[in-house]
Each structure stands twice: as C-alpha cells, then as structure tokens.
Amino acid sequence: MSDWMWIVAAVVFVVVGPLVGCLLAGIDRKISARMQNRVGPPIRQPLYDVRKFLAKEQVTPNLVQDFYVMCFLLFTIVTGALFFGGMDLLLVIFTLTLSETFLVLAAYSSGSVYSQIGAQRELYVAMAYEPIILLMAICYYLEFGSFAVSDIVESGEMAFVPLLGVFVAFLFGLTMKLRKSPFDLSLSHHAHQDIVRGMATEFSGRTYASLEIAHWYESVMLLGMMVLFFLNGSWTGVVLGVVVAVLAWILEIWIDNGFARMKWQTALKSGWVVGLILGVGNVAVLLLI
C-alpha cells in the first residue's frame, strides 16, 4: 500500500468511524434486548440519543470537565487515525493511554463521589489490560521486526498463528476496554448494572454526547486491532479479519449479558494472570523460535 492509501484509510476512519460505531452500539442494544426477551429500541437509537444530548442544556460542575472530555474525544480520534494510517503501534498505545487519562481526569474533576469511585475503578481496569496491549505490540515486533502497522500489513504474513497467545489475551482484554460485564466497573453502557452511571454521573448535554461519540470511535479502532491479526496483504485476510471481529463483537455482547460484575480486585488479578500466561508465553515462544 502506498502512503496515500494509508492517509485515505485514516481519513475514512475519521469520517466513517462514528457511523460504524453508532451502528455497532445499536446492534448491541438490539441483541441485548432480544436476549432479555424484549423488543428493544431501533438500531438507530444511539444516534437519536446523541442528537437529544446535543440539544439539551449544558449543565456541568466546572468548565475543566468539559475540556477533559473533549480531549478524550480528540485523542481517541487521533489514536484511531494513527492506527488506520499505518503508524507505529507504540505511538498508538501511548495516545490510547493518554485519551483514557483525560477521561479519568474529567471524572475526578467533577467532585462527585460516584464519578471519583468510577475513575478509580477505571484506573484499576486500565492496569489490567494495558500490559496485554503492550505485550501484543512486543510480539508484533518480534515476529515482523517492526512496530509499524503498515509494515505488518505489507509483510504478506498472517499474524494470527504465531501470535495466537496474545490474540486470545487481547480478546480477553477487549471485554475490559469495551467496558462489558463482568469488567464494566467504572462505566456501564446498559441500565442493568447501574442506576448511577459511574464516571459519567456528572456528564450532560454535549459533554455526554462527546463521550458517546468517543466510544463509537473507540469500538471501531479496537475491532480494527483485532482485524490486524489476519491482514496479510490480500482481500482474503481482510474478509477473514472482519468476520472474526464481528463474531468477537457478538461474543462480547453475550458475555455482557451473561455475567455479573466482578470486584475490581478480581478483574485486576485476572488481567495480569491472562497477560502473564498468554502474553509473556507468546513472547517466550517467539524468542525461542
């Protein structure tokens, strides 16, 4: 792929990403409702909700909270653009962590006890999945000799088999990053877990809308990371990767509706155990081969 194609891919993510993310969120609600024997809202309901939030009066405890949420949205978009633009995975991980930091700061700045507890839980969960993502990048480097997404895609080799361990670990961490039960400790996307919505308790109006749009971008980017395991420069790899990503999304919805929330201590321990066994194990295998 030429540099121009990577630039186009990044622009397409920025423009089309929220539309795809909105569709995924609507499908999530629909499937969740069917699993609970309900009709559920229309698939376009997340779009209607965001339009409603944008039209509502802005009520915020302080202006710095709105600034932090906007930074969260901005850096989430930048992270996805860097990834789909074929840039360095380490840079992608850094900006992803930075965007998460702004969200935590926004929750802490509100002064609400519920928001601050949600922010603390978000940090615990981040401590569980961040090592998994970092080990994934290390495995890509050991296998392909580069952290650049463009080099990985253009290598002609499918990473799924040699990176099977970190693939399973990333699938486990995906539940945490998408804030699906049993790891939705800080912010639940559905009403079946919280009356008070964790970090977003004090968010309203366009601030809340920005949070939802950022989650749409984030979902597309994370599924794109899963597709990367199957890209080998051919359309077969693209189709296979997209199919696996869709199946993973459905699996996450099933897990979200089938498991109760666990304690943060258990979430942190499980993330580290999975990361150490599968991630470090995969690194060891690549070093020995």
| DSSP code string of 46-110 | HHHHHHHHHHS----S-HHHHHHHHHHHHHHHHHHHHHHTT-BHHHHHHHHHHHHHHHHHHHHHT
Whether 176 and 184 have beta carbons less than 8 Å apart is answered as no
Residue written as token pair 């990503």: 245
Q: What mean pLDDT do residues 236-240 have?
A: 91
What integer best gives the mean pLDDT of the chain?
A: 87
Looking from the CA of 40 toward its CB, the CA atoms found within 13 Å total 20
Distance, CA of 123 to CA of 263 (rounded, Å) = 14
For 88, phi then psi, to 5°, come to: -65, 135
Domain holding 185, by residue range, is 3-288
Q: What mean pLDDT do residues 234-252 have?
A: 91
For residue 260, how many other CB atoms are within 10 A of its CB? 8
Number of domains in the chain: 1
Helix (H) or strand (E) holding 202: none
Whether the per-residue pLDDT at 223 is higher than 90: the answer is yes
Phi-psi region of 86 (alpha: psi -120 to 50; beta: other; left: phi over 0): left
Those residues whose C-beta lies under 8 Å from the C-beta of residue 134, and which sit 6 or more positions away, are 93
Q: What mean pLDDT do residues 12-29 have?
A: 93
Specify the range with the lowest mean pLDDT, choosing from 66-70, 82-86, 175-179, 279-283: 175-179
Distance, CA of 281 to CA of 231 (rounded, Å) = 23
At 182-206, the pLDDT tens digits run: 777 777 665 555 545 677 777 888 8
Whether 99 and 79 have beta carbons less than 8 Å apart is answered as yes
Whether the per-residue pLDDT at 84 is higher than 90: the answer is yes
242 or 156: which carries more pLDDT confidence? 242
| Percent of the chain whose pLDDT exceeds 70 | 96
Q: What is the pLDDT of residue 12?
A: 94
Name the pLDDT band for 1 (thresholds 50, 70, 90). low
In 3D space, the residue among 249, 225, 248, 241 whose CA is nearest the CA of residue 158 turns out to be 241
Q: Is 148 helix (H, G, I), strand (E, B) or coil?
A: strand
Whether 166 and 136 have beta carbons less than 8 Å apart is answered as yes
Whether the per-residue pLDDT at 113 is higher than 90: the answer is no
Please give the biggest Cα pair distance in the chain. 60
At 36-70, the pLDDT tens digits run: 888 888 899 999 989 998 888 777 777 788 899 99
Q: Is 157 helix (H, G, I), strand (E, B) or coil?
A: coil
Extract the tokens encoding 223.
């599924």
